[in-house]
Amino acid sequence: LARMIDTATGWPSIMAFDAALMPLSSCIFSDEERVAYCDALLHSVSTILPQILARCPENIPKAKESEYFTSPNLEFNTEIYSRYAANLLYRTLGSLPAVVRNWYAGLPNTGMQIVSKYIRRYVSKLLVDAELNKVKVANQKQLKADKLLKIRVVPVSGEVVAEYTVEETTMRLSIVMPPDWPLSVPSIQIDKAIVPSEKVKKWLLQLTAYLFHQNGSTVEGVMMWRKNVDRDVEGAEACTICMMTIHSTNHQLPKV
């Protein structure tokens, strides 16, 4: 497929790239394999994405934007090619956000403006809604029994809020999706952390790096943050006098 993508032109190479995306929609990869596979598609994305964008429709009616980009069902009419390109663009941005961001960052200023204008106008809101929906589904199915971790979404602001209770204090993680997602990364904030600020900065860096470089979903990012919290809190030495005391102002564990 990689050879066909690189050597063919036009629709044959675009369809070969579409075939290369298919494994990403399944669960056949480990985290390491998924990262390696996504990285291997970087050159293909830089080759194919301009061709896909050039074939995407313009001046789409507001009422039909979701249909054009998210519907996999294509009717054989005069719009089939442009609709296929629109749907493939949507799936590429959703499956390879970090790879697309890497390609976008290397564009000249004029190219960045053109790409940003189109994606922000038509695709970003749809992708953010899809990402928030993934969080809702995971919260209802996988995380429903978790009494310590509570996750909610705020569709109006594109925000995911995770509240995790540790040592009788609830820490709050806020992830706000940008209006030009995935061309920009989400803004992340942690409140009421029970560890020193240095570790909070470490969590932020780890989560930002994960979302920026590894094509990870927001739900996966939240779970990674929770694992980091558990590891760092469990690593703190217990004090026989003030073992369970948490500072009332900064919510940190005592320094021993």
Q: How confident is the model over 88-113, as pLDDT tens digits?
A: 999 999 999 999 999 999 999 999 99
pLDDT class of 5 with cuts at 50, 70, 90: low
Contact 156, 134 (CB under 8 A): no
What confidence tier does 195 reach under pLDDT thresholds 50, 70, 90?
low
Q: What's the pTM?
A: 0.82
- Nearest CA-CA partner of 179 in 119, 219, 130, 133: 119
> Which domains are delineated in the chain?
2-122 (no CATH), 129-234 (3.10.110.10)
Q: What is the pLDDT of residue 76?
A: 75
Is the pLDDT reported for residue 250 higher than 60?
no
pLDDT computed for residue 242 by the predictor: 36
Cβ burial, residue 38 (10 Å; 0-12/13-18/19+): buried
Report which of residues 191 and 141 the model is more confident about.
191
Give whole-number Cα distances, 239 to 128, 160, 236, in Å: 44, 35, 9
The mean predicted confidence, pLDDT, of the chain is 82
Q: What is the residue type of 196?
A: P
